[in-house]
């Protein structure tokens, strides 16, 4: 089979995968079967295919085939393709798929491992992180062809502040949880100065962002509780669980005794990506750097790479950009990728595989 990146990428971007990924998964299965491979779908909906032998290193190519809502139609203008998923992550997907089909490992094995829910729950990657074992992972995301060796982690949660409910004319200010929010917000503003992780030499500072407030139903009634949501971007050695525990302890020391406060992670039964850093001198990093000509740097968003980095050296790499001089690109209405970048990424990954698996 002659695999054409431009044709596959067009079909992929035209295929909606923001609510139901079944059509996109079927496109991938059909493409791999036509190329003579026998892909499998595991219990979490991940698609896997392998080639090569167990006699040598094992490299995994991973990305996701779901997208955020809403679907944006395919549009091509010369070298530029616009549409939902054009760069996040159907551009990297096309590049990794091409490299998987082109590479000829003579001493080792390459596995294509594609996940269905990176933009939502990340249960697919978490499952792969527990069931796969490899000597290196290349995770496809829009990096402008740079080799990204680190990323901050990400988690979300809620802070609930309980006070006294009652008539606005009678509840004292020191029991009103709306007033108590001032102490919570002040504690969040200074959290990393007192208790948070230190600045990481590669990833920089962690970031804690309050994002929404809720509480109360009527202007003449004090609510019994108020809720604040937050987003946390963490750096090593902090994890989502350790952050929740530390934030809970911090708030308990800052909030007056008249209130009770609790911190919970949103969707605690689903995984959050933790921060990771891969050594720049790992052979995988140097091989991909040489093949792509890209810079070595951190990635600017949370990524499924976190679930693989505890097993083996992991890099994030692909065509397209998270943003450009005009604003957001990935997830935006103007999402786009240049086909020449997709081809360049495919060539770089193919060269990397052949240098490591021969």
Cα distance between residue 296 and residue 145, in whole Å? 10
What Cα–Cα distance (Å) separates residue 281 from each residue in 145, 202, 307?
Answer: 18, 14, 21
Residue 181, C-beta contacts closer than 8 angstroms, at least 6 positions apart = 161, 213, 226, 228
Q: Which residue ranges make up each domain of the chain?
A: 5-151+275-356, 153-265
Neighbouring C-beta atoms of residue 1, cutoff 10 Å: 11
Q: Kindly tell me the number of DSSP H helices and DSSP E strands found in the chain.
A: 10, 20
Residue 180 is inside which H or E element, if any?
A: helix 177-189
Beta-sheet strands, E only, within the chain: 40-41, 47-52, 58-64, 75-77, 80-82, 109-115, 136-140, 147-151, 153-162, 166-167, 207-214, 221-222, 225-234, 260-265, 276-277, 296-298, 314-317, 323-324, 327-328, 336-338
Q: What is the pLDDT along the chain (358 residues), one digit of tens a residue?
A: 579 999 999 999 999 999 999 999 999 999 999 999 999 999 999 999 999 998 999 999 999 999 999 999 999 999 999 999 999 999 999 999 999 999 999 999 999 999 999 999 999 999 999 999 999 999 999 999 999 999 999 999 999 999 999 999 999 999 999 999 999 999 999 999 888 778 899 999 999 999 999 999 999 999 999 999 999 999 999 999 999 999 999 999 999 999 999 999 997 667 899 999 999 999 999 999 999 999 999 999 989 999 999 999 999 999 999 999 999 999 999 999 999 999 999 999 999 999 999 9
Architecture of domain 5-151+275-356: 3-Layer(aba) Sandwich (3.40)
Q: Per residue in 318-330, pLDDT tens? A: 999 999 999 999 9
Cα distance between residue 101 and residue 26, in whole Å? 17
With the C-alpha atoms ordered 231, 234, 239, 244, is the resulting torsion angle positive or negative?
A: negative
Domain 153-265 bears CATH identifier 3.30.70.360 = yes
Cα distance between residue 341 and residue 50, in whole Å? 25
Using DSSP bridges, classify how beta strands 336-338 and 47-52 pair: parallel, antiparallel or unpaired.
unpaired
Decide whether 5-151+275-356 matches 153-265 in CATH topology. Answer: no
**Structure pTM?**
0.90
Q: Per residue in 131-168, pLDDT tens? A: 999 999 999 999 999 999 999 999 999 999 999 999 99
């Amino acid at each position: 089979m002659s695999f054409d990146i431009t044709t596959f990428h067009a079909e992929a971007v035209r295929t909606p995968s923001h609510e139901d990924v079944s059509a996109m998964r079927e496109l991938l299965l059909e493409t791999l079967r036509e190329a003579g491979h026998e892909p499998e779908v595991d219990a979490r909906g991940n698609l896997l295919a392998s080639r090569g032998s167990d006699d040598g290193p094992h490299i995994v190519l991973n990305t996701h085939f779901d997208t955020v809502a809403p679907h944006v139609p395919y549009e091509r203008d010369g070298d530029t393709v616009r549409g939902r998923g054009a760069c996040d992550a159907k551009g990297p997907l096309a590049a990794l798929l091409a490299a998987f089909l082109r590479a000829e490992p003579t001493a080792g094995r390459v596995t294509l491992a594609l996940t269905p829910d990176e933009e939502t729950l990340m249960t697919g990657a978490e499952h792969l992180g527990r069931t796969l074992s490899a000597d290196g992972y290349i995770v496809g995301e829009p990096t402008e062809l740079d080799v990204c060796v680190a990323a901050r982690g990400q988690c979300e949660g809620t802070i609930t502040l309980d006070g006294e409910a009652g008539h606005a004319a009678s509840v004292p200010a020191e029991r009103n949880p709306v007033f108590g929010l001032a102490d919570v917000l002040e504690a969040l503003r200074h959290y990393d100065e007192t208790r948070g992780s230190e600045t990481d030499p590669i990833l920089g500072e962690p970031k804690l962002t309050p994002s929404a407030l809720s509480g109360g139903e009527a202007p003449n009634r004090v609510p019994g509780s108020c809720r604040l949501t937050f987003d946390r971007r963490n750096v090593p050695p902090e994890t989502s669980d350790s952050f929740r525990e530390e934030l809970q302890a911090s708030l308990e020391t800052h909030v007056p005794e008249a209130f009770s406060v609790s911190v919970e992670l949103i969707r605690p039964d689903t995984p959050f990506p933790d921060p990771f850093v891969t050594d720049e001198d790992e052979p995988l990093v140097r091989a991909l750097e040489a093949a792509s000509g890209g810079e070595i740097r951190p990635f600017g968003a949370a990524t499924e790479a976190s679930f693989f980095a505890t097993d083996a050296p992991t890099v994030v790499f692909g065509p397209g950009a998270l943003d450009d001089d005009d604003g957001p690109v990935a997830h935006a209405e103007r999402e786009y990728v240049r086909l020449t970048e997709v081809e360049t990424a495919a060539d770089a990954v193919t060269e990397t595989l052949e240098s490591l698996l021969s």
